[in-house]
Chain A
Amino acid sequence: MINFKNFIKDKIYIDSYLFISITLLSIMGLVFLYSASQGNIETIIKQSFFVIFGLFLMFIVSQPDPDFYKNNSAIFLIFSLVLVLITLFFGKEVNGARRWLDLGFFTLQTSEIIKVALPVFLAAYLYDKPLPINLFNTFTTLVLILLIVNLVRIQPDLGTSLIILIAGLYILFLAGLSWRFIGISFGIFILSLPFIWNNFLEPFQRQRILTLLDPNADPFGSGWNITQSKIAIGSGGLQGKGYQMGSQAHLDFLPETETDFIFSVIAEEFGFIGVCILLSIFLFILLRCLYLAFNARDRFCRLTIGGLSLLFLSTVFINLSMVVGIIPVVGMPLPFISKGGSSLLSFYIAFGIIISMATHKKLMQK
């Protein structure tokens, strides 16, 4: 028995903190989703399949040595870019957007893969470059990032393209992007805001921003989602209305309960206490990632863990800020909770890579 245990310890790479907390989050997600989908068994079975498959995938992804990802990151990126290009031409069109590739048993949102592949590639690319990152490398990587982001933006998918942009920028930032560069870029960004407002934003996107500023201006139109979401959250109170008792969710007042607004359902049914419990699990995962980044074995691992964990953090934050009405409504799922296979799988892969990096020590460190 003891030998067998040691054997497993030596041959199997797993970070039990992350694995347990992510499994816990996934199971909670299924429970929440059951209520949010108003007891739709089909949804739950499908999602359960993704969760089980995702956990398995995470386990598999965490087995190879990080060097495997470092050496093959370009292949992964190219592979996922090809998928995005295929999607652009042959993707399934839903509501005027081509984001999905129909694989028969499952429709894949290809841009979700780039979300992981890009930071890994950038970290690998910067692995043997002098750091802090120099101007030349900054520009080459920026051009690459913007090209890829634009590829997703024209699908169109503003939410995902933004998150890809953020993921890429995190790596640059962590790689030591000079503060002066950041300051100048930020200044240019602020100055070009009116230009972006007028030329890059669709009317409905502008409306969403305006709605955020004054949701009561049109409570039954553009303000409906956010108004109902706030009512759902607020009426949950301290203890919530009880599982499956949320009237806002169950009587269809709340939109998109299974995806973007699932947090509102949780807040309505489990109250502030439930919200705090959920947030502490997220917090635990993030702090664990911070710890792992500190103890990462090399620069590639550091940058990757840092970048992917910040990607995770940003996604969670954007979703939550959106449903409580701090930022405009953008399509952004709550990781491991919201319905949707692609986003779920991309995060399992991301954490699989993080676990791989956390568990494989360099020979000299062993």
Chain B
Amino acid sequence: MIDLNERFSEKRNFFNRLVFVYVFFGVLFLYLIYKTFSLQISSYSDYELASLENKTREFLVQPRRGIIYDRNGEIIVNNKPSYNMILDPENVDDINELIFEINKFVNLSDAEIKNINNIFPNKKKLNREVVLKRNLTTEEIAKFEVRNYRFPDIQIAERYSRENLYPYLFSHSIGYVGNLDEEKLQEILSSQELESNETIFTYSNGFLNGKTGIEYVYDEKLRGLFGKKIYEVDASGRLLQEKQMIPAVAGEDIFTSLDLPSQKVAYDELNNRRGAVVAVDINDGSIVTYVSSPSFSVNKIANGLTQNEFDELINDDDKPFFDRAAQGRYSPASTIKPAIGLFGIDKDILDWEYTIQDPGYFILPEDGRIYRGWKKGGHGEINLKDAIIESSNTFFFSLAYQTEIEELRAHLSNFGFGKNVCDDCFMPDNGLLPSPRWKMNTHNFGWFKGDTVNVGVGQGYINATPIQLAYYSAFLATKGNINKFSFVQDNKNVDKNIFNSKNIKNIDWDNIHESMIGVIESPKGTAGRLRSLKDYVIAAKSGTVELVSTETKEDYQIIRETEGKRDHAIIIAFAPMPNPKYAISVVIENGESGGSVAGPVAVAVLNSLVKND
């Protein structure tokens, strides 16, 4: 039928074509095998990792925040437990039936039931815990406990909230915690090489972060280290089983140097007046008392204020949020006089015998401008010691007049003016130790001799925070041998400031101490009324900060009609003499008299400190 040759050629043609297709696919298959090889062998580690990441889900486990103690071991800030009712939704099919059963003994509000119904389907799908009720009362817990055999999927879980046991006493020193912003959270997590994941919260209000004070400064210590729970998950993100648990490391407790009793005294004595008290243990520069007034409740801040409450605090004219102790700038006024006196001795301008005639005012030779003292008619012939005790302005005007501002600045800087004197204070202000350059930059005016004269009595541009004043006080008390301040016991980081001057001898320090004792003990002392408030010896120097310069007492009477224009009352002190242990500064805004208004507060706090030792 068909020619044999033709058949043969057709057959060969067929084979050629069939082999052609086989070879074609053979090449494709080689590529396929190469591709599989590259997936499984060459890129194995990448895909192994991808597969592992696919099937595991990490949960961060929040660490418990450290507890904060006072120096006597009293707890100041703690983690207050609250109890939540938690449901494991895996085996629950009818949530409404469960709610009905629970509602028989633990009342769930409509809002709570609505919320549970809203979140339940998704939580069940992903196998995540459902919070049925927060903040159970002990009665509710007891009611649940007797029935818990009926609810195998429900448990009571402990959650914490941060609680300051003395919410008003430590508002500015310890500060408060709040929720983290996203950026800060990323920063914290990346410091632990973690990623932002679902988190098992120990705290009922989520991530905590110190916002101010010690809570902020020691946040890293207090925070601890996040732990991890690693679960196997399926493609829908549903939790299957716990694979691994790396426990969280609780934050370190902080043992502060703060002294609860003196803190209470300071707070009570200030009695919501605007002002601040800072007291330190001069042996190590540790801060024992630190109050800025008026205060506010840190617990309310940490656990959420209503908008109204918040507005009230923000708009309060007394600015309760403002940390006067670290950031309030006050002229040191007459309290600076011992430092100026020491300057005179250091520069050999005067000695303890040196006297001047004090007519009650000082006339600046350059322009005849008159600088007045507080006492009409003056103090007569007066030496350094009495000039301190009686607080003669003229003496220090004339002393300052004989100096150069740069020398005076260098000297005062040793005493803590114009610099940070605290290792762990929250956002401390450096005050102002003015220089000609500063004045030119700020006021576009050159430095006048009169500006130097004003520094001599702690008025004019110079100002300092209560912390700096306390440091200055401690510096005098220790004869120039004081640690940088710190809020914690045995702070190893602090620098020690040792003041050396070949001209200032021990006897000069003693004389300064004696003069400052005289401020209270001498009949002519400006703070004589403090004498009866204590039964040991205190060295002090009071000051009255003029906010408005007035020529006469009559003028001041007009001024003081406006409370905000009244003089600030200020005092520095250390005690007990002759071996002082504590140094203190007190400022009361518009308190008018350093000796009689700020003084009693300082004495009361010192009483508490000295008596409790």
Contacts and interface: CB of A to CB of B under 8 A. Distances in A.
Contacts of B40: 233-234, 236-238, 267, 271-272, 275
A276 B54 CA distance: 26
A150 interface: no
Given A234-B44, A238-B40, A251-B55, A173 B17 contact: yes
Given A234-B40, A235-B47, A235-B48, A299 B21 contact: no
B18 A251 contact: no
Nearest to A307: B18
A98 interface: no
Given A173-B17, A248-B54, A317 B41 contact: no
B54 to A, nearest CB: 5
A324 interface: yes
Contacts of A139: none
Contacts of A271: 40
B235 A176 contact: no
A231 B47 contact: yes
Contact of B51 (A235, A290, A310, A326): A235
Contacts of B25: 313-314, 317
Interface residues of A, number: 46
A320 B35 CA distance: 11
A326 B17 contact: no
14 contacts: A132-B10, A173-B21, A176-B10, A228-B235, A235-B50, A236-B40, A247-B54, A251-B233, A253-B55, A272-B36, A272-B40, A279-B33, A306-B18, A320-B32
In the A-B complex, the 4 residue pairs with the closest CB atoms: A234-B47, A235-B51, A252-B235, A251-B234
A324 B234 CA distance: 22
A325 B36 CA distance: 10
A131 B10 contact: yes
Given A272-B36, A279-B33, A317-B32, A253 B235 contact: yes
Contacts of B19: 290
A275 B35 CA distance: 12
B18 A232 contact: no
B236 interface: yes
Given A248-B54, A251-B235, A252-B236, A324 B36 contact: yes
B536 interface: no
B13 interface: yes
Interface in A187-222: none
B14 A231 contact: no
B31 to A, nearest CB: 7
B22 interface: yes
B46 interface: yes
A271 B47 CA distance: 12
B534 interface: no
A237 B48 contact: yes
Interface string B25-43: 1001101110111011101
Contact of A272 (B11, B18, B22, B37): B37
Given A251-B232, A275-B40, A317-B29, 5 more contacts: A176-B14, A230-B47, A290-B19, A299-B10, A310-B18
B354 interface: no
A234 B55 contact: no
A310 B21 contact: yes
A124 B458 CA distance: 118
A267 B36 contact: yes
A83 to B, nearest CB: 29
A17 to B, nearest CB: 17
A245 B567 CA distance: 82
Interface in A316-342: 317, 320-321, 324-326
A345 interface: no
A69 interface: no
Interface of B: 10-11, 13-15, 17-19, 21-22, 25, 28-29, 31-33, 35-37, 39-41, 43-44, 46-48, 50-52, 54-55, 232-236, 240
Given A173-B17, A251-B233, A233 B28 contact: no
Nearest to A321: B32
B41 A302 contact: no
A248 B240 CA distance: 14
A294 interface: yes
A252 B15 contact: no
Contacts of A294: 15
Main secondary structure on chain A at its contact with chain B?
A: helix
Given A132-B13, A251-B235, A237 B41 contact: yes
Contacts of A228: 54, 235
Contact of B43 (A173, A175, A234, A299): A234
B300 to A, nearest CB: 43
Contacts of A310: 18, 21
Given A234-B39, A237-B40, A275-B36, A251 B240 contact: yes
Interface string A291-303: 0011000010011
Interface in A264-311: 267, 271-272, 275-276, 279, 283, 286, 290, 293-294, 299, 302-303, 306, 310
Contacts, number: 122
Contacts of B236: 252
Contacts of A286: 22
Contacts of A233: 36, 39-40, 47
A290 B18 CA distance: 8
A93 to B, nearest CB: 28
A174 interface: yes
B44 A237 contact: yes
A32 interface: no
Given A234-B44, A235-B48, A253 B37 contact: no
A306 B235 contact: no
A170 interface: yes
Nearest to A299: B10
Contacts of B50: 231, 234-235
B28 A317 contact: yes
B423 to A, nearest CB: 50
Residue of A131, A230, A234 with highest tally of chain B CB at under 10 A = A234
Nearest to B42: A234
Contacts of B18: 174, 290, 293, 306, 310
Nearest to A271: B40
A129 B148 CA distance: 86
Contacts of B48: 234-235, 237
Nearest to A131: B10
A155 B14 CA distance: 34
Contacts of A230: 39, 47
A321 B17 CA distance: 23
Contacts of B10: 131-132, 176, 299
Given A234-B40, A286-B22, A310-B21, A324 B14 contact: no
Given A253-B55, A290-B22, A326 B32 contact: yes
A306 to B, nearest CB: 5
B47 to A, nearest CB: 3
Interface in A45-85: none
Contacts of A317: 25, 28-29, 32
B17 A324 contact: no
Contacts of A320: 32
A242 to B, nearest CB: 13
Contacts of A290: 18-19, 22
A253 B52 CA distance: 12
A267 B235 CA distance: 19
A86 to B, nearest CB: 34
Contacts of A279: 29, 33
Nearest to A293: B18
Nearest to B240: A251
A163 to B, nearest CB: 14
A303 B13 CA distance: 12
B367 to A, nearest CB: 80
Nearest to A173: B17
A159 B10 CA distance: 32
Contacts of B36: 233, 267, 272, 275, 324
Contacts of B29: 279, 283, 317
